[in-house]
Amino acid sequence: MIPPEGAAAIMWRDTAHKERAAAALRVTAQEVASLGCVDEIIPEPAGGIHTDHETGMALLGGALRKHLDELKAMPVEALLAARQRKFRNIAQFYTEN
């Protein structure tokens, strides 16, 4: 992914537009989730995962196991249809009025 400064330099030939580019890129976890690009936002331990690897990995491992169990329980046809729907819906584009 390109950082907002890089996107601003490309789009407007000026890195001063980095806030505008960040809004267009939709780079926060909540924005990416609202676009349907992720299945879940996993909370970090207090202070960030870099401060508590064990707790962070336990949170990540629990989420991965939960989602894998859900996927394994789905019939193959339903799984394929759901994945196709998800990836078709990811391509949402920023427009400016």
Question: Quick one: pLDDT at residue 92?
Answer: 57
pLDDT (tens digit, 9 = 90+) per residue, 44-85?
A: 999 999 999 999 999 999 999 999 999 999 999 999 999 998
Residue range 30-34: mean pLDDT, rounded = 82
Read off the pLDDT band of 29 (50, 70, 90): confident
11, two tokens: 């789009």
Q: What angle do CA 40, 44, 45 make, to 5 degrees?
A: 145
Domain definitions of the chain by residue range:
4-90
Half-sphere exposure of 79 (CA within 13 A, CB side): 10
Q: What is the pLDDT, as a whole number, of residue 22?
A: 82
> From residue 89, how far is each of 2, 31, 40 by CA, in Å?
21, 14, 16
Mean pLDDT of the chain: 87
Instruction: Identify which has the larger pLDDT, 50 or 34.
Output: 50
